[in-house]
Amino acid sequence: MHIHILGICGTFMGGIAALAKSSGHKVTGCDAQVYPPMSTQLEKLGIELIEGYDPSQTKLNPDLYVIGNVVSRGNPLMEAILDKNLPYVSGPQWLQENLLREKWVLAVAGTHGKTTTTSMLAWILEHAGLAPSFLIGGVAQNFETSARLTDSPFFVIEADEYDTAFFDKRSKFVHYRPRTAILNNLEYDHADIFPNLAAIETQFHHLVRTIPSSGLIVANGREESLRRVLEKGCWSPVEWFGVEEGWHTVQQGDETRIRFGKKEEGILSWGLLGEHNRSNALAALAAARHCGVSPGVGLDALSKFKNVKRRMEIRGVSNSITVYDDFAHHPTAIATTLKGLREKVKNARIIAILEPRSNTMKMGVMKDALPTSLIDADLVFCFDSNLGWDARSALAPLGEKAETIGDLGELVRKIASASRPGDHILVMSNGSFGGIHEKLLESLRAG
């Protein structure tokens, strides 16, 4: 079958393209901007990419169009598809009907930590010899790819609560029908599509309704929102993590001990930072055990786990100043990322650089929570280009340690000027941020 994918250069749709190609389909695709790294990854697979959404692409005569949620009404190619009554389907629905239907699906849902936890879980199963298929919203460094299709019965997938497509406003994860589901956490996000937290809780409960009674829900016991979700109705066993009656950690000196209830399962020994990553590990260990992987094997796998790209990734060191790249863009993720770095660097200075780029952040919905989330930073620089709210006023509670700048070149100069040997510069954005990491390192090298 020939499928043509609209919005192919997004991480999720690019992953679907790679999986479709692996399963024997002819795959082509288009996007508004065709650019690395996804364009490079797809071209290596022999997938033809077209820039833009010109209606002439219907002349390719594919058997099916697979539509990414970046595509909306008014898109010229989509309008042509509708006018000609051509067959189309959403990415998540295509995935379920063609690749997931006969698999043991392990889905990782939550506001934060999905990509990291999905990568951990896939790696644990890989280390245990189960060779899972996977689709991850980032490049898992243990695999050096974001998607893979194997003959294994197990399929690990990052389960996003964002909407499916312009014609299907359910969350993506409703299509996946997992046997094992991780509910990592649940906070308000995606203000462009959800009016409030209750609306997101409803979507999470739709997911819960699809899990069989022989399945397993692994849920964060510290999240009242998740408890509310399960109180609406639950037909599957539940294992909690983050609380003493379930999976939890006990710190004994420098050792992080893993316990399930009162039973000690082993010691977590690895290089990742922060309580949030320890929590992610608990969820992954519990989900893997449901597939028959013992916690001991899981812990051995985690000792060899390499974090996902753009999660506290060190981009370089210049003049004893370390520059990190992180995907954090929600206040909670910003706070936990900074807390983890603070645990590592102790009293060294942390310079936090923030680009409020997500739709929710651009709308200013979370702006009042930003000062508290940045409390662990010694200096804060906020890139306030094209925001619909006043970043300077929002960050005023931080006083003189916070500065807002709307020009990227000026931002780089100010950061370089403020930096001194021993500092740790943490760049947080869910986009490329104009290549600021290399620009900073170059400026620091120039002295």
Low-confidence ranges of the chain (pLDDT < 70): 35-37, 308-309, 362
Element (H, E) at 241: strand 238-241
Residue 309 has what pLDDT?
67
Among the four given CATH numbers 3.90.190.20, 3.40.1400.10, 3.40.50.720, 3.30.1280.10, the one describing domain 313-446: 3.90.190.20
Residue 424 has what pLDDT?
95
**Where do the CATH 3.90.190.20 domains begin and end in the chain?**
313-446
Q: Cis peptide leading into 37, omega within 30 of 0? A: yes
Tokens of 38: 């996804």
* DSSP codes joined into one string, 9-30: TSHHHHHHHHHHHHTT-EEEEE
CATH 3.40.50.1000 holds for 2-91: no
Residue 252 has what pLDDT?
81
CA 78/CA 294 separation, integer angstroms: 48
Residue 283 has what pLDDT?
97
Residue 411 has what pLDDT?
92
Residue 203 has what pLDDT?
95
DSSP 3-state assignment of 315?
A: strand
**Where do the CATH 3.40.50.720 domains begin and end in the chain?**
2-91
In three-state form (DSSP H/G/I as H, E/B as E, the rest C), the secondary structure along 49-80 is EEECCCHHHHHHCCCEEEECCCCCCCCHHHHH
Q: Which CATH superfamily is domain 102-302 in?
A: Mur-like, catalytic domain (3.40.1190.10)
Residue 286 has what pLDDT?
98
**Where do the CATH 3.40.1190.10 domains begin and end in the chain?**
102-302
Q: Report in angstroms the alpha-carbon separations of 254 from 260, 267, 281, 405.
A: 20, 10, 17, 40
What does pTM read for this prediction? Answer: 0.82
CA 287/CA 180 separation, integer angstroms: 7
